[in-house]
């Protein structure tokens, strides 16, 4: 039902996705998030989703910077793929690479090869872009304005390099993954809360050091990164790191009365994408260690979204509400939230 609404209100004749109904703009990471959802549906046994996944992949090529030898995806374009711009972001490009590897896993023939090459191209842009430098001892900047280095951008890049090393065996990918991991652990991990902080800014200190801001999705991304590091590098202690990070996430950002994760430690709202990301990471944690309690958290989190944030008339998800279900942003429905709710429910459907 979620996908039916996506097709009706967001998908365009060009096979892009509007950021919201009626918009003439498409965001790169919204579109690749929908590909991520379609890949999950295909992996669950519905090959019909491969067609829309492949068509959106073709549209995404309009956002690739063909004038730059290093390439890289621009952040946005109009729904036809014209006027690509809005800068280039490390998280957008890293997410695209990870999504392509999920698409690679469910594809065959030339499509499979193309997805791998595109993931490698995204990684090559990361390596050649200059967005990693020695400021703050390393780490990727969020974008080319170079004002902050976030956990999520670096965590997604770490995942991409690990996955490419696993597939290709190329040592350069391994070395980049290790460098990112070491930097994140040294500069972004708050040992008091057992969580990763949001970002380090141009004043040289992690933002909110005395009262750190910690996001659910940042730490969900790092749970997945630790699990990949365990698997790819045969570093068994990283499964325990992922488990401890999940426990800290539950201690700091989980509301047990309502059964959902907060947006972050300074914002008590709930969002389908940012908070729903935790369900994906916990499903992957269950796949690693077999502990069914992670699935219970994942399902309760999804159940909350379906109860409080879903428009039952059109089956779309609103953007935000307060934890008690009040103050729903009924005037804002964004495509990325639909994509993520489609994806996490497809992932959970294997076990529920």
pLDDT tens-place string over residues 304-316: 999 999 998 888 9
Please check the confidence at residue 162 and state whether its pLDDT lies above 50: yes
Cα 146 to Cα 39, 92, 127, 164, 188: the distances in Å are: 33, 15, 16, 26, 17
95 CB neighbour count, 10 Å cutoff: 25
CA distance 99 to 115: 9
Rounded CA-CA distance 97/118 in Å is: 7
Using 50, 70 and 90 to split pLDDT, how confident is the model at 51? Answer: very high
Please state whether beta strands 321-322 and 269-270 pair in parallel, antiparallel, or not at all (unpaired). Answer: antiparallel
Reply yes or no on whether the pLDDT at 210 is more than 70.
Answer: no
- Show the tokens assigned to 262: 């907060």
Q: Flag whether pLDDT at 320 surpasses 60.
A: yes
Q: Is the pLDDT of residue 146 over 80?
A: yes
d(CA 182, CA 173): 14
d(CA 57, CA 48): 15
Q: To the nearest whole number, what is the mean pLDDT of the chain?
A: 95
Cβ–Cβ < 8 Å for 139, 156: no
Residue from 261, 262, 264, 196 nearest 226 by CA: 196
Per residue in 283-297, pLDDT tens? Answer: 999 999 999 999 999
For the record, the structure tokens of 172 come out as 């350069």
Q: Distance (Å, rounded) from C-alpha 235 to C-alpha 247?
A: 20
C-beta separation of 102 from 40 below 8 A: yes
Q: What is the pLDDT of residue 315?
A: 82
Q: State phi, psi for 76 to the nearest 5 degrees.
A: -155, 170
Which tens digit of pLDDT belongs to each residue from 225-258?
999 999 999 999 999 999 999 999 999 999 999 9
Q: What is the pLDDT of residue 206?
A: 59
pLDDT score at 208? 46
Paired tokens of 276:
């729903």
pLDDT of residue 204: 55
Encode pLDDT of 69-93 as tens digits: 999 999 999 999 999 999 999 999 9
């Amino acid at each position: 039902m979620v996908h039916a609404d996506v097709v009706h209100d967001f998908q365009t004749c060009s096979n892009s996705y509007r950021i919201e109904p009626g918009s003439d703009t498409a965001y790169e990471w919204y579109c690749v998030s929908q590909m991520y959802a379609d890949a999950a549906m295909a992996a669950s046994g519905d090959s019909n989703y491969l067609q829309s996944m492949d068509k959106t992949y073709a549209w995404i090529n309009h956002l690739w910077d063909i004038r730059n030898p290093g390439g890289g995806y621009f952040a946005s374009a109009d729904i036809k793929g014209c006027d690509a711009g809005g800068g280039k972001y490390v998280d957008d490009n890293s997410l695209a690479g990870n999504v392509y590897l999920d698409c690679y896993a469910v594809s065959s023939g030339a499509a499979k090869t193309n997805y791998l090459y595109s993931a490698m191209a995204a990684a090559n842009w990361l390596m050649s872009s200059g967005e990693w430098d020695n400021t703050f001892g390393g780490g990727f900047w969020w974008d080319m304005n170079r004002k902050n280095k976030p956990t999520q951008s670096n965590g997604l890049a770490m995942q991409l390099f690990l996955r490419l090393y696993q597939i290709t065996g190329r040592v350069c990918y391994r070395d980049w993954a290790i460098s990112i991991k070491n930097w994140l652990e040294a500069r972004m991990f708050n040992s008091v809360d057992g969580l990763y902080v949001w970002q380090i800014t141009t004043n040289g200190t992690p933002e909110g050091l005395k009262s750190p801001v910690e996001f659910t999705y940042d730490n969900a991304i790092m749970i997945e990164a630790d699990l990949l590091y365990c698997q790819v590098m045969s570093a068994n202690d990283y499964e325990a790191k992922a488990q401890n990070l999940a426990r800290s996430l539950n201690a700091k950002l989980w509301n047990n009365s309502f059964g959902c994760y907060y947006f972050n430690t300074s914002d008590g709202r709930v969002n389908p994408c940012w908070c729903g990301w935790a369900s994906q990471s916990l499903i992957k944690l269950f796949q690693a260690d077999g502990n069914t309690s992670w699935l219970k958290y994942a399902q309760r989190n999804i159940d909350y979204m379906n109860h409080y944030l879903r428009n039952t008339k059109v089956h779309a998800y609103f953007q935000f509400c307060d934890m008690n279900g009040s103050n729903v942003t009924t005037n804002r429905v964004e495509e990325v939230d639909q994509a993520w709710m489609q994806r996490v429910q497809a992932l959970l459907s294997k076990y529920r």
